[in-house]
Amino acid sequence: MSQEQERGSLEGPPPSMTPQAPASDAGPPPPPGGQTGPGTSPTAASFDFNQPTVISLLYLSSFILGVTSIVGVVLAYVWKGEAKEEWEISHYEYLINTFWIGFVGSIVSVVLMVVLIGFLLLPAVIVLMVVRCVLSLINAQKREPMPNPRTLLA
């Protein structure tokens, strides 16, 4: 056995990485992201990183990183003007309201910590923010509009 055969050939990809022909002629494979056409919902096994989803994830990551909610609200204002589909418009309005509810609620909570009420109010604001972000994530994955984007509570 020669030394070249032991190490393998550097001519092209290994056989395990070459595409195999499909067993049946069911048509072309679906495009990446699990979508089969415009307006269709993603498959159950995929996670669709659409724009409202990105904003919700930025809001949720702000509890760990701190400033990503500011990036999220800026993106929401920018993307609101260029919304591609009707369901996205309600998400942008809902997510912008979510940011301002969280921002004002946190400021009021910090001020009220002087009289100890803020220590109870701040966790309530955090729970409200998380619930609103998760609701937006769920509806964005289904590509459905938010039922009532102008509500204060979830």
DSSP string across 96-139:
HHHHHHHHHHHHHHHHHGGGTSHHHHHHHHHHHHHHHHHHHHHH
Mean per-residue pLDDT of the chain: 81
What is the reported pLDDT for 18? Answer: 65
**Res. 47 pLDDT band, cuts 50 70 90:** confident
- How much is the pTM? 0.69
